[in-house]
Amino acid sequence: MINKTFSNTSTFKNPLIEAKNLSHSFDYPLFEDISITLNEKEIVAILGVSGSGKSTILHILSSLLKPKQGEVFYGNKSLYNLPVEYQTKIRREYLGIIFQSHYLFKGFSVKENLEISSLISKEEIDASILKKTGIENTLNQNISDLSGGQQQRVSIARVLTKKPKIIFADEPTGNLDSKTAKEVMSEMIKYIKSINGTMLIVTHDENIAKMSDTIYRLKNKKLSQVHELS
Ligand SMILES: Nc1ncnc2c1ncn2[C@@H]1O[C@H](COP(=O)(O)OP(=O)(O)OP(=O)(O)O)[C@@H](O)[C@H]1O
Ligand SMILES: [Mg+2]
């Protein structure tokens, strides 16, 4: 049994995002009255079976989907009460979203995909990010010619190139072998801690969740903190 203290060692926590009393449904209720906080320097994982609503929570927290009930606060601002242009500005300037289904530009090369982020963020493509994600030799290849795992690493590199304050990662390592998954996760964690940001990661993989500071499980429409994973 692994006994791990998930809470931050520092007693002072600075919340960057607070989601309060969220409920959402599509054809049927997915979750009801759940709350979650993402603190500065905190890596938070959400576990849960397929279809439980993990991606939906990630979309709500990352400005992409207004919840049926509840509020998401970025600092003291209620995200979905802000003008849409302002929501877009926050998304563009502060958020890096790694989607479950990559959303890379298929007809383009790896380099061109990274250049788009680099243009948005006005940050150079960082050679060390290419190396850390192991895609330095794929730059001129077309996205469609890459394996699923390589595409996944390009989408991680693309988000890191943007240098966001907050990363939302939806199953970012689902197509990677466990060694590569751990290495890539470590790089993302190191980056987030170094800039005093925060990261929410949705995953099926308990070994990846264990690398986080705080772990939740979405089950029976409720989100509960997990204090121990066997
Ligand atoms: N835009 C949508 N319109 C209608 N139903 C949706 C929509 N998005 C998600 N759903 C439904 O909500 C449920 C939860 O979806 P969600 O993608 O949040 O689950 P998940 O926990 O991320 O699953 P997985 O682990 O398979 O990715 C599913 O039944 C899905 O079909
Ligand atoms: Mg999902």
Whether residue 157 has pLDDT greater than 80:
yes
Region 10-22: mean pLDDT is 89
153 Cβ below 6 A of ligand 1: no
Q: Would you state the structure tokens that stand for residue 50, as one six-digit string?
A: 């397929």
112-122 pLDDT, tens digit per residue, is 999 988 888 78
Whole-number pLDDT of residue 3: 41
C-alpha span between 15 and 41 (Å, rounded)? 10
The residue assigned the tokens 């990630």 is 58
The pLDDT score that the predictor gives to residue 103 is 82
- Whole-number Å distance, alpha carbon 20 to ligand 1 midpoint, is 20
Question: Would you place residue 5 in the very low, low, confident or very high pLDDT band (cuts 50, 70, 90)?
Answer: very low
100 CB under 6 A from ligand 1? yes
The domain spans of the chain are 15-226
For ligand 1, whether the C-beta of 99 sits within 6 Å is no
Torsion angle, alpha carbons of 51, 55, 60, 63, to 10: -150
Superfamily the domain 15-226 falls into: P-loop containing nucleotide triphosphate hydrolases (3.40.50.300)
DSSP string, 164-217: -SEEEEESTTTTS-HHHHHHHHHHHHHHHHHTT-EEEEE-S-HHHHTTSSEEEE
Tell me which residue has its CA closest to atom 28 in ligand 1: 51
User: Residues 6 or more apart from 177 whose CB is under 8 A from it?
Assistant: 149
